[in-house]
Structure 1
Amino acid sequence: MKSIIQLLHFGYHQAMSCIFPVIIFGTLALTSVIPVPFFHRYDAILIILLIVQYLMYRSGLETLDEIKVICVFHLIGLVLEIYKVWMGSWSYPEPGYTKLLGVPLYSGFMYASVASFMCQVWRRLRMDMTGWPGGISSVLLGAAIYLNFFTHHFIPDFRWWLTALVFVVFWKTWIIYRVRSTTYRMPLSLAFIIVGFFIWTAENIATFFNGWKYPDQHEAWQLVSFSKISSWFLLVIISVIIVAQLKYVKANRTRNIHN
């Protein structure tokens, strides 16, 4: 019975941490079947998501620090989106006034939703990490992963080398999380894989509702390539590195103030 109660509490905190991603996909779904008056669909999605973010902050569902992390990841994602659309990796075929170089501004929220989940689940499950490799190695690895998303169009793709390096760098790193009074732990690399898979699943939902389209989906929708799981696996690593580093920086500042 205790294990069932623990699982229910864990599921509750996971679900609460997914509020913003769920709203994004719900908005994509509803606006794909219900015409939006006075606005282009992409513009309406942006307005809705901005309102949702404001309400989540005002209601206390997200803190100011979490909003800052979300904004950073929104910018990182938007830059990547602009580049990928320019390279023809995917496209946003619908019109919109809030498009920048062919990319609707709401698209950054797709990446920001990953950061939102990371921040909230960290706080709700009182997460911590052991065996963190340190700032220099983790930041350099995150930068190399992000850069590879751009450079693989011109030079060989180092995705699998970087994936192997992830397991080397983080092989001692475990996530510590707490459900009620019980503490659990999980290898960080395993958590990367699990979250990457669920984001890939969400991506299939988003493309089904025309959030964006890959070249092979213009005639008819089809399942997103399984190879995209590795891309999301690497993207999750970037988000975890950013969130973890900011958490540690804040913790050190708080310690210094009290000292």
Structure 2
Amino acid sequence: MNASFQKVETQMLQGTLQLTRFGFEQAMSCLFPVVIFASLALTQVIPLPLLPRYDWLLLICLGMQWWMVRSGLETKDELKVITLFHLIGLALEVFKVHMGSWAYPEEGFFKVLGVPLYSGFMYASVASYLCQAWRRHDIQLINWPTFWLVVPLAAGIYFNFFTHHFWIDLRWWLSGGVVLLFWRSWVAYKVGDSVYKMPISLSFVLIGFFIWVAENIATFFGAWQYPNQADMWSLVHLGKISSWLLLVIVSFLIVATLKLVKQKQPE
């Protein structure tokens, strides 16, 4: 009886240590997003000299990006991926603001068609998290589909964010395509010396949900504003989870494809 109790106690202790280690590594992977959220909160309550708030946020993001590369927390290859996400995100922001999906009501010198340049870093921070987590957890993909299926699916999901304003919304068809394409795909990741696995689709859902939670925090601190939040902040509609889920899928597919291409290149 005592031996069984000690065994359970040991397993619980090991599980707690693994969970703590996993949480720490996830927190380190989220440094860029944490800095953005902290900056959103602080710049809303601290008087800012010389420049509007949006421009200070841009300078903070640029400084954080420089420090992460300089300190070795991010590699130059990861910086290229993050820059690509910044451009992809900024293009989407310009279009969505033009269509009235949301707005950036505050003033700023560094704006493009009503969109502050710092906004692209919110997409880049997702890429930063994925790259950091990929390296820290030694991510391995199991039964990953062929490049010729993954790339068109990622492109279709991204362009649907634009085309659904003029044509039918294909998000549920595309979501079904994701389920079918990745039905047998898993992601393996390390926590310490132990290796764990989960279905790729589950990882998409989990990341998408937490980004929706982060979106509520961001809109609360005035990162951007949905039409229903113009007079008073309210919870972001649950339907947005599907949008973030698809955006996470695009992000993951781009990072995974670039990682696989890099692995196949000769040293």
User: TM above 0.5, one fold?
Assistant: yes
Other-structure match for 1:152: 164
* CA deviations over 1:151-185 (Å, ceiling 9, x no partner): 00011111111111110011111000011111100
Aligned to 1:179: 191
- Matching residue's letter, 2:209: F
Give 5+ residue unaligned stretches, structure 1: none
Selected match of 1:34 from 46, 56, 69: 46
* Residue 8 in structure 1 maps to residue 20 in structure 2: yes
- Specify the code of the residue in structure 1 equivalent to 2:262: K
Structure 1 counterpart of 2:71, which letter? S
* Aligned positions, number: 255
Report the secondary structure of 1:178's partner residue. Answer: strand
User: Could you tell me which residue of structure 2 aligns to residue 199 of structure 1?
Assistant: 211
1:248 aligns with 2:257: no
The CA deviation at 1:134 is 1.3
Q: Report deviation, 1:3.
A: 1.0
Q: Which has the larger radius of gyration?
A: 2
Residue of structure 2 equivalent to 1:165: 177
Map of 1:236 onto structure 2? 248
Deviation, structure 1 residue 111: 0.5
Provide the rounded CA distance (Å) in 1 between the counterparts of 2:114 and 2:167. Answer: 25
Moved over 3 A (4+): none
> How far apart in 2 are the matches of 1:10 and 1:71?
27
Q: Which residue is 2:229 aligned to?
A: 217
Q: CA RMSD in A?
A: 0.7
Q: Distance in 1 between matches of 2:142 and 2:47?
A: 49
SS at 1:176's partner residue?
Answer: strand
Instruction: In structure 2, give the amino acid aligned to 1:115.
Output: A
Structure 2 residue aligned with 1:133: 145
Name the residue aligned to 2:85: 73
Give 1:5 deviation, angstroms: 1.1
Identical residues among aligned pairs (%): 58
Q: Quick one: distance in 2 between partners of 1:234 and 1:128?
A: 21
Gaps of 5+ in 2: 1-12
- Superposed CA deviations along residues 39-85 of structure 1, whole A, max 9, x for unmatched, are 10000100011001101111111111111100000000000000000
